[in-house]
Amino acid sequence: MPLSKIGLILAVVLSFALSSLFTPLVRGIAVRLRICEKPNGRTSRDIAHIGGVGIIGAILFTLIPLFLFYLPGGAIERAFTPVLIASGFLVFLLGIIDDLRSLHYIYKLILQIAVSVFVASVGLGLLMHFGAARVAVYLLPPLFLAIALWMLVVTTSFNLIDGLDGLASGLAFISAASFAVAGYLFAQPLVAAVALVVCGAVLAFLRYNFPPAKILMGDSGSLFLGLLFGLVSLLLLVPGTDLFYRIAGNVVILAVPLLDTALALTRRLVTRRPVFEADHRHMHHMLLYRFRSARKVDAVLWGLAAVFGALGVLTMRGNAAALCAALALEIAVYVISLRSMVRFALSEAIEEEILGGCGITASQCIPRQR
C-alpha cells in the first residue's frame, strides 16, 4: 500500500504521541533509579540524561509499521532497513554506555569509527547487491572512505552540539523538516517518512527539553539522531543525479552542527590546546556569554539553522544562487565566531555566573568517571 500524504501526517502524529508518552516515562524511571547526570562538564544539575531512549523508542515503534505495510519494498528500502537496525543498535549501545559510565573519549571515538565503517561497508554492499547502485570497482575505496568519514563527522557534530538545553532537539527538528521537504520534492518516500517521524519525536521531546530542561537526550539520543541524518542525507544521493548540488545541499542543511565542530577543531589547533579537551567555547557557549539566556541562544541558532535548511533544499534543486548565499553565510559565521573564540576575554567569575545560571558546570576540566 503506497504511503499517502495522510499516511505521512499520521506517522508524524504517532511518533509525537509515542515520544510524549515515552519521555516522561523514561524520566520517571531515571529519577526512581537515580540514573541522573552528575557534574561532569555538561551540567551541574542532578537531571535525567537518558532521554534518547524515549526518542529512539518513538522513532522505531513508528517506523516498524511504516516499513512493514506502507513503504515500497524496493531495493533501497531492503538495503536501508538492516543498516538502520544494526547501526542504530550499535550507536544506541555506545550512547547509553557513555551516558551511564562516561567512556573515555578515545574508546568512544574508536567505537564511532567502527560504526561509520560498518555503515559504509554494509550499506554499499547491500545497495550494490540489490541493484540500487552501480559503482565502478576503482571508485569503491574512495567512496567507502567518503561515506565513513561523512557518517563519523555528522554523528560527532550532533553529539557535540548537544551542550545547551533544547538546542540539539530544535536543530534536529529543523534538519529533519528540511530533509522531509527534500524527500518529498525528489519523490523519495523513505527519506520523507524517516525525516517526518524524527520531526514528531523530537518535537514532543522538546517540550521536556526546552530550557530549563527536565530531561536531557544524552549521548544515546544525539548519536542516534546524527546517525539518522547521516543515513538520510546519503539516501538522497542514491539516485546518482545532480550529485554536486545534492551533496552541497546536505552540508548546508546540517551547517550549524558542522560549523560548530569545525570551529572547535580549528580553535583548539590555533590556541594549541588538546583537540579532544572539553571546554566551554562552542558556538552556543559564546552566544550564551553575550545573551545570558539559553532561550535566546536557542532562538538565534534555530533561526540560523532554519535559514540554512531553506537554502539547503534550494541548493539540492540546482539553485546556484542559494548555494552561493549559503557559502557566504557559512564563511561569515565561521570567521566571526572563530575571531570571538580566539580573542575571548571574560573574567572567570562572570563566566561561572553565566554558565551556572544555565545549569552548566563552569569548571573547564572535570575528571570523568572511567
Q: Kindly list the distances between the CA atom of residue 268 and the CA atoms of 262, 265, 287, in Å, as whole numbers in the listed order.
A: 10, 5, 18
Angle between helices 52-65 and 218-235 in degrees, nearest 10:
40
Specify the pLDDT at position 13.
95
Q: In 185-344, which ranges are E strands?
A: none
> Distance between CA 16 and CA 231 in Å, rounded?
21
- 110 contact partners, CB below 8 Å, separation of at least 6: none
Give the predicted TM-score (pTM) of the model: 0.92
Residue 214 · residue 236 · CB < 8 Å: no
Torsion over CA of 295, 301, 305 and 308, rounded to 10 degrees? Answer: 150
Instruction: For residue 236, give every residue at least 6 positions away whose Cβ sits within 8 Å of its Cβ, in sequence order, or none.
Output: 179, 182, 183, 186, 188, 191, 246, 249, 250, 316
Burial class (CB in 10 A: 0-12, 13-18, 19+), 83: buried
Q: Cα–Cα distance between 182 and 320 in angstroms, integer?
A: 16
CB 196 within 8 A of CB 8: yes
Compute, in degrees rounded to 10, the torsion defined by CA atoms 278, 282, 287, 289. 30
How open is the CA angle 120-105-304, to the nearest 5 degrees? 70
Return per-residue pLDDT of the chain as tens, 370 residues: 556 678 788 899 999 999 999 999 999 999 888 877 554 445 556 688 899 999 999 999 999 888 877 776 677 777 888 899 899 999 999 999 988 887 888 899 999 999 999 999 998 888 887 776 777 788 889 999 999 999 999 999 999 999 999 999 999 999 999 999 999 999 998 999 999 999 999 999 999 999 999 999 999 999 999 999 999 999 999 887 889 999 999 999 999 999 999 999 999 998 888 888 778 889 999 999 999 999 999 999 999 999 999 999 999 999 999 999 999 999 999 999 999 998 887 777 888 888 887 777 654 433 333 3
> Could you identify the residue written with the cell 561497508?
121
Q: Is 293 left (phi over 0), alpha (psi -120 to 50) or beta?
A: beta
pLDDT at 302: 98
Residue 161, CB half-sphere, CA atoms under 13 Å: how many?
A: 33
The pLDDT of residue 73 is: 66
Among 235, 162, 154, residue whose Cα is nearest residue 205: 162
C-alpha cell at 177: 523538516
- The pLDDT, as a whole number, for residue 297 is 97
Cell numbers placing 306 = 532554519
